[in-house]
Amino acid sequence: MSGERVLVTGGSGFVGVHCILALLAAGYNVRTTVRSLDREPDVRAMLSRGGAEPGAALEFVSADLTDDSGWADAVADCTYVLHVASPFPGREPKNEDELIVPAREGALRVLRAARDAGVRRVVLTSSFAAVGYGTAALDRSYTEEDWTDPTADVSAYVKSKTFAERAAWDFVMREGNGLELAVVNPVGILGPALGPDTSTSIDLVLRLLRGAAPGLPRVTFGLVDVRDVADLHVRAMTDPAASGERFLAVADGILTVPEVAGVLRARLGDLARKVPTRVLPDWMVRVAAFVDPSLREVSRRLGNHREVSNAKAKRMLGWAPRSNEDAIVATAESLLGLGLVPGVRDGDGQNSNG
Protein backbone atom coordinates (compact mmCIF):
# COMPACT_ATOMS: atom_id res chain seq x y z
CA MET A 1 0.00 0.00 0.00
CA SER A 2 2.84 2.43 0.79
CA GLY A 3 3.30 4.74 -2.17
CA GLU A 4 0.42 3.22 -4.14
CA ARG A 5 -1.83 5.75 -5.82
CA VAL A 6 -5.52 5.26 -6.58
CA LEU A 7 -7.54 7.28 -9.07
CA VAL A 8 -11.15 8.00 -8.09
CA THR A 9 -13.24 9.40 -10.91
CA GLY A 10 -15.95 11.87 -9.94
CA GLY A 11 -14.49 12.88 -6.59
CA SER A 12 -17.06 15.63 -6.04
CA GLY A 13 -19.94 13.14 -6.06
CA PHE A 14 -21.67 11.51 -3.10
CA VAL A 15 -20.09 8.08 -3.58
CA GLY A 16 -16.80 9.41 -4.91
CA VAL A 17 -16.02 11.57 -1.88
CA HIS A 18 -16.75 8.67 0.48
CA CYS A 19 -14.45 6.43 -1.58
CA ILE A 20 -11.71 9.04 -1.17
CA LEU A 21 -12.29 9.04 2.59
CA ALA A 22 -12.02 5.24 2.75
CA LEU A 23 -8.82 5.20 0.70
CA LEU A 24 -7.17 7.94 2.73
CA ALA A 25 -8.07 6.11 5.95
CA ALA A 26 -6.41 2.99 4.52
CA GLY A 27 -3.20 4.92 3.78
CA TYR A 28 -3.38 5.34 0.01
CA ASN A 29 -2.39 8.38 -2.01
CA VAL A 30 -5.41 9.50 -4.01
CA ARG A 31 -5.89 11.37 -7.25
CA THR A 32 -9.40 12.35 -8.26
CA THR A 33 -11.02 13.75 -11.37
CA VAL A 34 -13.40 16.67 -11.42
CA ARG A 35 -14.87 18.33 -14.48
CA SER A 36 -13.52 21.67 -13.28
CA LEU A 37 -10.62 22.30 -10.91
CA ASP A 38 -12.81 24.99 -9.36
CA ARG A 39 -14.44 22.12 -7.43
CA GLU A 40 -11.27 21.33 -5.45
CA PRO A 41 -12.16 23.58 -2.47
CA ASP A 42 -15.65 22.03 -2.35
CA VAL A 43 -14.27 18.49 -2.30
CA ARG A 44 -11.70 19.33 0.38
CA ALA A 45 -14.46 20.92 2.47
CA MET A 46 -16.57 17.76 2.19
CA LEU A 47 -13.59 15.62 3.17
CA SER A 48 -12.96 17.87 6.15
CA ARG A 49 -16.57 17.41 7.20
CA GLY A 50 -15.95 13.68 6.91
CA GLY A 51 -12.94 13.92 9.21
CA ALA A 52 -10.03 14.00 6.73
CA GLU A 53 -7.43 16.66 5.98
CA PRO A 54 -5.43 14.90 3.24
CA GLY A 55 -3.13 17.73 2.18
CA ALA A 56 -0.67 16.47 -0.43
CA ALA A 57 -2.00 12.92 -0.20
CA LEU A 58 -4.84 14.06 -2.49
CA GLU A 59 -4.42 15.64 -5.91
CA PHE A 60 -6.89 16.78 -8.54
CA VAL A 61 -7.00 16.58 -12.32
CA SER A 62 -9.60 17.90 -14.71
CA ALA A 63 -11.24 15.27 -16.93
CA ASP A 64 -14.68 14.74 -18.44
CA LEU A 65 -16.32 11.46 -19.40
CA THR A 66 -17.22 12.89 -22.81
CA ASP A 67 -13.67 13.91 -23.79
CA ASP A 68 -10.36 12.03 -24.15
CA SER A 69 -8.28 14.92 -22.83
CA GLY A 70 -6.95 14.63 -19.29
CA TRP A 71 -7.38 10.89 -18.83
CA ALA A 72 -3.78 9.93 -19.58
CA ASP A 73 -2.64 12.35 -16.87
CA ALA A 74 -5.37 11.10 -14.52
CA VAL A 75 -4.28 7.44 -14.62
CA ALA A 76 -0.51 8.01 -14.77
CA ASP A 77 1.36 6.12 -12.02
CA CYS A 78 -1.87 4.74 -10.54
CA THR A 79 -1.99 1.15 -9.31
CA TYR A 80 -5.80 1.10 -9.14
CA VAL A 81 -8.76 3.04 -10.50
CA LEU A 82 -12.19 3.38 -8.91
CA HIS A 83 -14.45 4.51 -11.75
CA VAL A 84 -17.30 6.04 -9.80
CA ALA A 85 -18.36 8.94 -12.03
CA SER A 86 -21.57 8.48 -14.00
CA PRO A 87 -24.60 10.67 -14.74
CA PHE A 88 -27.51 10.26 -12.29
CA PRO A 89 -30.34 12.66 -13.19
CA GLY A 90 -33.16 13.92 -11.06
CA ARG A 91 -35.67 13.16 -13.80
CA GLU A 92 -35.92 11.29 -17.09
CA PRO A 93 -34.12 13.09 -19.95
CA LYS A 94 -35.96 13.84 -23.19
CA ASN A 95 -33.33 11.87 -25.11
CA GLU A 96 -32.10 8.71 -23.37
CA ASP A 97 -28.74 8.98 -25.16
CA GLU A 98 -27.97 11.98 -22.95
CA LEU A 99 -27.36 9.36 -20.24
CA ILE A 100 -26.50 6.21 -22.15
CA VAL A 101 -23.71 7.59 -24.31
CA PRO A 102 -21.61 9.34 -21.61
CA ALA A 103 -22.04 6.40 -19.22
CA ARG A 104 -20.96 3.77 -21.77
CA GLU A 105 -18.33 5.80 -23.60
CA GLY A 106 -17.02 7.26 -20.36
CA ALA A 107 -16.48 3.79 -18.89
CA LEU A 108 -14.63 2.70 -22.03
CA ARG A 109 -12.55 5.88 -22.02
CA VAL A 110 -11.42 5.24 -18.43
CA LEU A 111 -10.72 1.55 -19.07
CA ARG A 112 -8.71 2.30 -22.18
CA ALA A 113 -6.59 4.88 -20.37
CA ALA A 114 -6.12 2.52 -17.41
CA ARG A 115 -4.99 -0.32 -19.69
CA ASP A 116 -2.55 1.89 -21.55
CA ALA A 117 -1.07 3.18 -18.26
CA GLY A 118 -0.52 -0.30 -16.81
CA VAL A 119 -3.13 0.01 -14.06
CA ARG A 120 -3.56 -3.29 -12.19
CA ARG A 121 -7.31 -3.24 -11.55
CA VAL A 122 -10.33 -1.04 -12.19
CA VAL A 123 -13.35 -1.18 -9.90
CA LEU A 124 -16.43 0.05 -11.76
CA THR A 125 -19.37 1.50 -9.86
CA SER A 126 -22.35 0.00 -11.63
CA SER A 127 -25.78 -0.36 -10.02
CA PHE A 128 -28.58 -2.77 -9.17
CA ALA A 129 -30.12 -1.02 -12.17
CA ALA A 130 -27.93 -3.32 -14.28
CA VAL A 131 -29.12 -6.41 -12.39
CA GLY A 132 -32.82 -6.52 -11.57
CA TYR A 133 -34.94 -4.48 -13.98
CA GLY A 134 -36.98 -5.33 -17.05
CA THR A 135 -37.71 -8.86 -15.90
CA ALA A 136 -40.62 -10.40 -14.05
CA ALA A 137 -40.29 -10.38 -10.27
CA LEU A 138 -38.45 -13.51 -9.20
CA ASP A 139 -39.49 -15.88 -6.42
CA ARG A 140 -35.92 -15.77 -5.17
CA SER A 141 -33.34 -13.12 -4.38
CA TYR A 142 -31.62 -11.34 -7.23
CA THR A 143 -27.92 -12.19 -7.34
CA GLU A 144 -24.89 -11.17 -9.37
CA GLU A 145 -25.90 -13.76 -11.97
CA ASP A 146 -28.92 -11.67 -12.98
CA TRP A 147 -28.91 -8.97 -15.64
CA THR A 148 -31.40 -6.25 -16.53
CA ASP A 149 -33.19 -6.50 -19.88
CA PRO A 150 -32.61 -3.06 -21.44
CA THR A 151 -35.16 -3.74 -24.20
CA ALA A 152 -37.99 -3.74 -21.65
CA ASP A 153 -39.90 -0.74 -20.31
CA VAL A 154 -37.09 0.66 -18.17
CA SER A 155 -35.74 4.17 -17.60
CA ALA A 156 -32.84 5.78 -19.43
CA TYR A 157 -30.78 5.59 -16.24
CA VAL A 158 -31.35 1.84 -15.97
CA LYS A 159 -30.34 1.42 -19.61
CA SER A 160 -27.24 3.58 -19.12
CA LYS A 161 -25.93 1.49 -16.22
CA THR A 162 -26.67 -1.79 -18.01
CA PHE A 163 -25.04 -0.79 -21.28
CA ALA A 164 -22.03 0.73 -19.51
CA GLU A 165 -21.35 -2.37 -17.42
CA ARG A 166 -21.83 -4.74 -20.36
CA ALA A 167 -19.43 -2.64 -22.42
CA ALA A 168 -16.84 -2.68 -19.61
CA TRP A 169 -16.87 -6.48 -19.33
CA ASP A 170 -16.65 -6.85 -23.11
CA PHE A 171 -13.73 -4.44 -23.31
CA VAL A 172 -11.71 -6.20 -20.61
CA MET A 173 -12.33 -9.59 -22.19
CA ARG A 174 -11.42 -8.51 -25.73
CA GLU A 175 -8.96 -5.64 -25.33
CA GLY A 176 -7.93 -5.53 -21.68
CA ASN A 177 -4.45 -7.02 -22.16
CA GLY A 178 -4.39 -8.22 -18.54
CA LEU A 179 -6.27 -5.32 -16.97
CA GLU A 180 -8.39 -6.65 -14.12
CA LEU A 181 -11.99 -5.53 -13.56
CA ALA A 182 -14.32 -5.82 -10.57
CA VAL A 183 -17.79 -4.29 -10.40
CA VAL A 184 -19.85 -3.02 -7.46
CA ASN A 185 -23.64 -2.91 -7.96
CA PRO A 186 -25.29 -0.83 -5.21
CA VAL A 187 -29.00 -0.52 -4.56
CA GLY A 188 -30.38 2.82 -3.27
CA ILE A 189 -27.50 4.57 -1.52
CA LEU A 190 -28.09 6.48 1.70
CA GLY A 191 -25.71 7.65 4.43
CA PRO A 192 -24.03 10.88 5.51
CA ALA A 193 -24.25 13.76 3.05
CA LEU A 194 -21.09 15.86 3.30
CA GLY A 195 -22.22 18.88 1.28
CA PRO A 196 -25.34 20.70 0.11
CA ASP A 197 -25.31 19.07 -3.35
CA THR A 198 -27.31 16.00 -2.37
CA SER A 199 -27.54 12.99 -4.66
CA THR A 200 -30.73 11.70 -6.23
CA SER A 201 -30.49 8.58 -4.08
CA ILE A 202 -30.92 10.49 -0.81
CA ASP A 203 -33.53 12.89 -2.15
CA LEU A 204 -36.26 10.60 -0.80
CA VAL A 205 -35.20 11.19 2.80
CA LEU A 206 -34.83 14.92 2.19
CA ARG A 207 -38.32 15.15 0.68
CA LEU A 208 -39.78 13.21 3.61
CA LEU A 209 -38.08 15.44 6.19
CA ARG A 210 -39.24 18.57 4.37
CA GLY A 211 -42.81 17.27 4.13
CA ALA A 212 -42.53 17.76 0.37
CA ALA A 213 -44.07 14.39 -0.50
CA PRO A 214 -47.91 14.30 -0.70
CA GLY A 215 -47.88 10.81 0.72
CA LEU A 216 -46.03 7.51 0.86
CA PRO A 217 -46.14 5.14 -2.14
CA ARG A 218 -45.99 1.44 -1.34
CA VAL A 219 -42.72 0.89 -3.18
CA THR A 220 -40.23 -1.69 -1.93
CA PHE A 221 -36.48 -1.30 -2.38
CA GLY A 222 -33.08 -2.20 -0.99
CA LEU A 223 -30.80 0.28 0.73
CA VAL A 224 -27.12 0.52 1.57
CA ASP A 225 -25.00 3.04 3.46
CA VAL A 226 -22.53 4.98 1.30
CA ARG A 227 -19.73 4.21 3.77
CA ASP A 228 -20.31 0.52 3.19
CA VAL A 229 -20.34 1.06 -0.57
CA ALA A 230 -16.94 2.76 -0.28
CA ASP A 231 -15.64 -0.07 1.91
CA LEU A 232 -16.79 -2.63 -0.66
CA HIS A 233 -14.96 -0.72 -3.41
CA VAL A 234 -11.71 -0.91 -1.45
CA ARG A 235 -12.19 -4.62 -0.76
CA ALA A 236 -12.98 -5.31 -4.42
CA MET A 237 -9.89 -3.31 -5.38
CA THR A 238 -7.41 -5.29 -3.30
CA ASP A 239 -8.75 -8.82 -2.82
CA PRO A 240 -7.26 -11.22 -5.39
CA ALA A 241 -10.54 -13.16 -5.52
CA ALA A 242 -12.49 -10.08 -6.64
CA SER A 243 -10.98 -9.87 -10.13
CA GLY A 244 -13.60 -10.66 -12.74
CA GLU A 245 -16.47 -10.52 -10.25
CA ARG A 246 -19.60 -8.44 -9.62
CA PHE A 247 -20.72 -7.61 -6.07
CA LEU A 248 -24.18 -6.46 -5.05
CA ALA A 249 -24.03 -3.80 -2.35
CA VAL A 250 -27.17 -4.03 -0.21
CA ALA A 251 -27.90 -4.12 3.50
CA ASP A 252 -29.89 -6.98 5.00
CA GLY A 253 -33.60 -6.83 4.19
CA ILE A 254 -35.79 -4.60 2.03
CA LEU A 255 -38.04 -1.71 3.06
CA THR A 256 -41.07 0.17 1.82
CA VAL A 257 -41.30 3.96 1.70
CA PRO A 258 -43.83 3.92 4.61
CA GLU A 259 -41.30 1.90 6.64
CA VAL A 260 -38.57 4.46 5.90
CA ALA A 261 -40.92 7.19 7.12
CA GLY A 262 -41.62 5.13 10.24
CA VAL A 263 -37.90 4.83 11.02
CA LEU A 264 -37.49 8.60 10.72
CA ARG A 265 -40.38 9.31 13.06
CA ALA A 266 -39.31 6.67 15.59
CA ARG A 267 -35.65 7.66 15.72
CA LEU A 268 -35.79 11.42 15.20
CA GLY A 269 -38.91 12.36 17.13
CA ASP A 270 -39.86 16.01 16.65
CA LEU A 271 -37.12 16.48 14.06
CA ALA A 272 -39.26 14.30 11.79
CA ARG A 273 -42.50 16.16 12.47
CA LYS A 274 -42.98 17.05 8.78
CA VAL A 275 -42.64 13.45 7.58
CA PRO A 276 -45.98 12.41 6.05
CA THR A 277 -47.99 9.51 7.42
CA ARG A 278 -50.53 9.00 4.63
CA VAL A 279 -49.95 5.86 2.52
CA LEU A 280 -50.92 6.43 -1.12
CA PRO A 281 -52.99 3.79 -2.91
CA ASP A 282 -51.26 2.32 -5.95
CA TRP A 283 -53.87 3.64 -8.39
CA MET A 284 -53.25 7.20 -7.25
CA VAL A 285 -49.50 6.90 -7.86
CA ARG A 286 -50.11 5.47 -11.34
CA VAL A 287 -52.46 8.32 -12.23
CA ALA A 288 -50.00 10.92 -10.89
CA ALA A 289 -47.22 9.38 -13.00
CA PHE A 290 -49.06 10.42 -16.16
CA VAL A 291 -48.78 14.06 -15.04
CA ASP A 292 -45.41 14.04 -13.26
CA PRO A 293 -42.61 12.29 -15.20
CA SER A 294 -40.50 12.03 -12.03
CA LEU A 295 -43.03 9.50 -10.69
CA ARG A 296 -42.87 7.14 -13.66
CA GLU A 297 -40.06 5.01 -12.25
CA VAL A 298 -41.91 4.85 -8.92
CA SER A 299 -45.04 3.72 -10.77
CA ARG A 300 -43.10 0.99 -12.58
CA ARG A 301 -41.94 -0.43 -9.25
CA LEU A 302 -45.33 -0.74 -7.56
CA GLY A 303 -46.01 -4.34 -6.59
CA ASN A 304 -42.49 -5.48 -7.52
CA HIS A 305 -40.85 -6.69 -4.31
CA ARG A 306 -37.23 -7.25 -5.23
CA GLU A 307 -35.27 -9.28 -2.72
CA VAL A 308 -31.52 -8.75 -3.23
CA SER A 309 -28.75 -10.99 -1.93
CA ASN A 310 -25.54 -9.66 -0.36
CA ALA A 311 -24.21 -13.17 0.32
CA LYS A 312 -21.43 -13.02 -2.26
CA ALA A 313 -19.81 -9.84 -0.91
CA LYS A 314 -20.04 -11.18 2.63
CA ARG A 315 -18.66 -14.59 1.74
CA MET A 316 -15.86 -13.61 -0.65
CA LEU A 317 -14.76 -10.26 0.76
CA GLY A 318 -15.81 -10.32 4.41
CA TRP A 319 -18.09 -7.34 3.86
CA ALA A 320 -20.38 -6.40 6.77
CA PRO A 321 -22.88 -3.63 5.95
CA ARG A 322 -24.68 -1.41 8.44
CA SER A 323 -28.39 -1.86 9.04
CA ASN A 324 -31.04 -0.11 6.96
CA GLU A 325 -32.15 1.82 10.02
CA ASP A 326 -28.66 3.15 10.73
CA ALA A 327 -28.27 4.24 7.10
CA ILE A 328 -31.60 6.08 7.14
CA VAL A 329 -30.85 7.87 10.41
CA ALA A 330 -27.30 8.83 9.33
CA THR A 331 -28.76 10.34 6.17
CA ALA A 332 -31.35 12.34 8.05
CA GLU A 333 -28.91 13.59 10.69
CA SER A 334 -26.49 14.80 8.02
CA LEU A 335 -29.24 16.64 6.12
CA LEU A 336 -30.42 18.30 9.32
CA GLY A 337 -26.84 19.17 10.26
CA LEU A 338 -26.32 20.81 6.87
CA GLY A 339 -29.42 22.96 7.39
CA LEU A 340 -31.20 21.51 4.36
CA VAL A 341 -34.55 21.07 6.12
CA PRO A 342 -36.21 24.50 6.49
CA GLY A 343 -37.83 25.09 9.84
CA VAL A 344 -36.13 22.12 11.48
CA ARG A 345 -32.72 22.40 13.10
CA ASP A 346 -30.56 19.54 14.32
CA GLY A 347 -30.73 19.75 18.09
CA ASP A 348 -34.43 20.67 18.21
CA GLY A 349 -36.49 18.18 20.16
CA GLN A 350 -35.57 14.52 20.38
CA ASN A 351 -32.59 13.27 18.42
CA SER A 352 -31.54 9.77 17.42
CA ASN A 353 -29.49 9.31 20.57
CA GLY A 354 -32.14 10.59 22.91
Q: pLDDT digit string (tens) for 156-194?
A: 889 999 999 999 999 999 999 999 999 999 999 999 999
Question: How many CB atoms lie under 10 A from the CB of residue 79?
Answer: 18
Phi and psi, residue 40, nearest 5°: -55, -45
**Tens-place pLDDT, residues 297-348:** 565 565 667 789 999 999 999 999 999 999 999 999 999 999 999 877 655 4
Measured between alpha carbons, how far is 312 from 310 in angstroms, rounded to an integer? 6
Instruction: Note whether residue 29 is domain-resident.
Output: yes
Instruction: Note whether residue 234 is domain-resident.
Output: yes
Instruction: Note whether residue 278 is domain-resident.
Output: no
Residue 237's pLDDT band (cuts 50, 70, 90): very high
Q: Is 111 left (phi over 0), alpha (psi -120 to 50) or beta?
A: alpha
**Do 228 and 311 contact (CB within 8 A), yes or no?**
no
* Catalytic positions, written as ranges: 161
Confirm whether pTM is higher than 0.85. yes
Q: Is 102 left (phi over 0), alpha (psi -120 to 50) or beta?
A: alpha
Provide the mean pLDDT of the chain.
89
Phi and psi, residue 181, nearest 5°: -135, 135
Instruction: Note whether residue 150 is domain-resident.
Output: yes
Phi and psi, residue 50, nearest 5°: -85, 0
Q: How many residues does the chain have?
A: 354
Identify the pLDDT of residue 353.
37
Instruction: Note whether residue 216 is domain-resident.
Output: no
The CATH number for 122's domain is 3.40.50.720
Instruction: Note whether residue 258 is domain-resident.
Output: no
Task: List CB contacts of 134: < 8 A, sequence separation 6 or more.
Answer: 148, 149, 150, 151, 152, 153, 154, 158
| Number of domains observed in the structure of the chain | 1
Identify the pLDDT of residue 351.
40
Residue 21 domain boundaries: 5-197+223-253+307-322
CA separation (Å) from 332 to 67, 263, 300, 346? 36, 10, 26, 10
Q: Which of 157, 88, 78 is nearest to 122 (CA)?
A: 78
Identify the pLDDT of residue 354.
33
Q: In Å, how far from its chain's centre is CA 309? A: 17
Instruction: Note whether residue 204 is domain-resident.
Output: no
Instruction: Note whether residue 274 is domain-resident.
Output: no
Identify the pLDDT of residue 89.
59
Residue 257's pLDDT band (cuts 50, 70, 90): confident
